[in-house]
Chain A
Amino acid sequence: MIPHIMVHAVLQQAVAGFYTDLVTRPTGRAVRENIERDLPPGTVAVMDFTGVGCLDYSCADEIVAKLVRDKVKVLLLRGLTDAHREAIEPVLAGAGLAVLCERADGVLEGLGASEPAPALLDELIERRLAARIPGGSIRLTAA
């Protein structure tokens, strides 16, 4: 079973005040620490950004990059807007890190540095969490 993290819900729990934006390092740190509590190291996790407004570079680094660097084996993002991607992509690429991103049509693709992304897809296939479909693209088998 892949752990599902609803980022907007975690934000509501982690920070006092009703915020929909993931901005500032302290907010990012609080959200990440909240996520880390229930996440075993080396796991595969799905992180859903539905309902999150603005995501700034500081939060992208504090949450996504640090989870990838220190905690999870494969991080799969869904519910991303173009603006979220614009914050996350350079932060990951600059650190040589990558995550997988589920597009609206269900296809998985790499986000961040290009080098580590194929290995992440292979890991999901190896764990039978994803499969290659006719045409070559890769989708989750169970989520």
Chain B
Amino acid sequence: MTRLIEVPTQFDDRSFDQFTAAYAQAGDGERLLFDAHAAEWASPYGLVGLLAAGEAATRKGERPLLTAPANPDVVSYWARAGFFREAEDLFEVHGKVPRTKVATESEVLLPVTPVRAAEDVHAVVSTIQQRASAILSSELGLDPKATMGFAMALSESCQNIVEHAGTGGWVAVQAYNWRRKLARRVVVIAVADAGVGFRHSLEPTQAKRFGERWGDAAALEAALVQGVSRFRDPGRGQGLAGIRRYLTRWEGKVAIRSGTARIAIVPRWDDDVPLKEGLPAFPGSQVLLIIPEQVAEKAGGSSQR
């Protein structure tokens, strides 16, 4: 039996739980068909999240199916963003996928890139420094010093996969105009894996401390807010704390979804909630970092550059 899982037409972190709700209903032994034919737009978070779903489905049983977006512009963009290069290994892809080169355009700062080992993190950091510095400083108005912090945040996000996931994952970085939400340009880093997730990773060292409260939400809180790590080494747990510091400084947002919970450090421009529990179960961890264009404060409010 094949179960249909619709990919939301606007596929981003906001609609991700609509997607995971359908995913969570799938039973063992069912073949999954991810239907993206009606997709109109996908954020980097949507793209790497879909790959994580594909990997998890492959592990559970038969290789899943994927219907590519029908809109030629959308499917072309997914191809240029590097999605299909990775999807071909995970899904039986149906639909017309253009043979497009992975983008060198300015919006795609880092196409969908697999992260499996430390060498991959080196490659990601090297690529992003070559491509992102100009955009971060000229288009987003970030202090040139902040571009190195951006590479650090990216490095630490990717290392979470290498160190904790127990499997590989993907990262993607894009810059775009976020008219709907912020009326500013933003740079978005999305990292996703279908590994063991935060709760499983931290359980041996943290579950006892939390007692009955222990679960996905407590694990995320321990990692992001308290900076704990599964390693007893006293220097561990620096990565997420550093990411949080960096994003707070540049009015950015960090959100991490793992298992059935999602935690966020919410900047003043966003109306997200800090913690959500009881979400549909989804394997691994999905990390979202958003850095907005910096605006000069003027009397009577802020203005765009």
B145-A58 in contact (CB<8A): no
A25–B242 CB distance below 8 A: no
Question: Smallest CB–CB gap between B303 and chain A, Å?
Answer: 28
* B residues near A17, Cβ cutoff 8 Å: 119, 122
**A-facing mask of B158-179, CB < 8 A → 1, else 0?**
0100110000000000000000
A83: contacting residue among B118, B145, B156, CB under 8 A: B145
Give every chain B residue within 8 A of A90 (Cβ-Cβ).
238, 241-242, 245
The answer to whether B234 touches A81 (Cβ under 8 A) is no
Number of interface residues of A (CB under 8 A): 29
Asked if A23 CB lies within 8 Å of chain B CBs, one says: yes
Per the bound structure, the CA–CA distance linking A105 and B52 in Å amounts to 51
B74 near A: Cβ within 8 Å?
no
Residue pair A54, B238 in contact (C-beta under 8 Å): no
Which B-chain residue is minimally distant from A64 (CB atoms)? B235
- Which residues between 5 and 43 of chain A lie within 8 Å of chain B, taking CB atoms? 17, 19-21, 23-27
Give the secondary structure class of A's interface.
helix
CB of B304 within 8 Å of the partner chain: no
Q: Does B294 contact A (CB under 8 A)?
A: no
Q: How far is the CB of B93 from chain A (nearest CB, A)?
A: 32
Q: Are the CB atoms of B238 and A57 closer together than 8 Å?
A: yes
Please state if B122 and A95 are interface contacts (CB–CB under 8 Å): no
Are A91 and B235 in contact, CB atoms less than 8 angstroms apart? yes
B129 with A56: CB separation less than 8 A: no
| Partner-binding segment picked from B24-32, B146-154, B192-200 | B146-154
Chain B positions within 8 Å of A87 at CB level: 152, 242
Asked if B155 CB lies within 8 Å of chain A CBs, one says: yes
Question: Which A residues from 78 to 114 make CB contacts under 8 A with B?
Answer: 81-83, 86-87, 90-91, 94-95
The 4 closest A-B pairs by CB, nearest first: A83-B148, A61-B235, A57-B238, A24-B118
Q: Using A19-B126, A86-B149 as known contacts, list a sample of 14 further A-B pairs with CB atoms less than 8 Å apart, ordered by residue number in A.
A: A19-B122, A21-B129, A23-B121, A23-B152, A25-B118, A26-B118, A53-B129, A53-B148, A54-B129, A54-B148, A56-B151, A58-B239, A83-B148, A90-B242
Where the two chains meet, the residues of A that have a C-beta atom closer than 8 Å to any C-beta of B are 17, 19-21, 23-27, 53-58, 60-62, 65-66, 81-83, 86-87, 90-91, 94-95
